[in-house]
Amino acid sequence: MRQKIQKRDNDTLLEGNLITSKLEKRKLNLFIDISGTIIIIFIFLFPFLWMVGMSFKDRIQTFQIPPAWFFKPTLENYRDLFSREIFGHYFVNSLLVVAFSVLISLLIAAPAAYALSRFNFKAKKDFSFWILSVRMAPAISVVIPYFLLGSLIGILDTKFVLILSYLTFNIPFAVWMLKGFISEIPIEIEEAAMVDGYSRFEVFYKIIIPLTATGFAATSILCIIQSWNEFTFALFLTTTNARTLPTIVTQFLTFQGVVWGEMSSAATITVLPAVIFAILVRKHLITGLTFGALKE
């Protein structure tokens, strides 16, 4: 039996004392729980599932009204999509750009995060402010000089220029997050190690990093997802060679009824990796999201 009123939790207080009978209360609560769950799943999951479903429908099923909830799936959309080898090319580009950008960002950001966490120096606040500002900068503002300078140097439409530009949001983000995680580690551990003769670098390498592994995981997950979904830089700085998946939308800008199948399969392939990845690592993902918020 549940003793709701006496329980000392937030949720108890949120439930209120509107009904007197315990049984009625339980029924009401169950009703709320279930309908709330259904609403949440419907609103947030259904649009995604519908898109995936569409990618397995043929043209007739797509246009059916009322919509076809149950249908025989077909792979023809995906076949069409991959017969255009250019699509696989975009996929590989996305993978490579994301992998390198996140890796390099972590390598560069980790020491900076450590410094901001452990050292105190006059410019610290300014530097933190600056790093955060970089994170906030709108891509569209930065892409104009990137485009012009890139064309001057001649590095446009290369994976390199994308990896480079992605550093603008990955490094500050990683510094911000990692700094918080590192600050969680009690400084006594380091001090003890240094007394034992460890150099600061060894402390960082052998103690801090292993202890903040989950933090690193959370940070890299968020960086990976952001980089995979990045659109503005990819749109303006690439043409055909270095294009990534999010830019396929340009092929569907004028919406013709006839290409829904191709469009939804392209959309599904673009979105699915990130979604599956996120669900698999959701514990770390949540840590990262909420941690970033809780510890500024």
70 vs 255, which CB is nearer to other proteins? 255
146 vs 181, which CB is nearer to other proteins? 146
5 vs 213, which CB is nearer to other proteins? 5
Crossing angle (nearest 10°) for helices 260-280 and 282-294? 80
The DSSP-derived string for 152-215 is HHT-TTSHHHHHHHHHHHHHHHHHHHHHHHHHHS-HHHHHHHHHTT--HHHIIIIIIHHHTHHH
| Element at 112 (helix H, strand E) | helix 85-118
66 vs 197, which CB is nearer to other proteins? 66
| Smallest gap from residue 186 Cβ to other proteins (A) | 20
Residue 43 CA: distances (Å) to CA of 13, 30, 171: 27, 20, 34
| Smallest gap from residue 104 Cβ to other proteins (A) | 9
Residue 55 per-residue DSSP state = T
| Smallest gap from residue 10 Cβ to other proteins (A) | 5
| Smallest gap from residue 245 Cβ to other proteins (A) | 7
| Smallest gap from residue 215 Cβ to other proteins (A) | 15
Report how far residue 187's alpha carbon sits from residue 13's, in angstroms, rounded to the nearest whole number: 39
40 vs 99, which CB is nearer to other proteins? 40
Do residues 55 and 261 lie in contact, with contact meaning Cβ atoms separated by under 8 Å?
Answer: yes
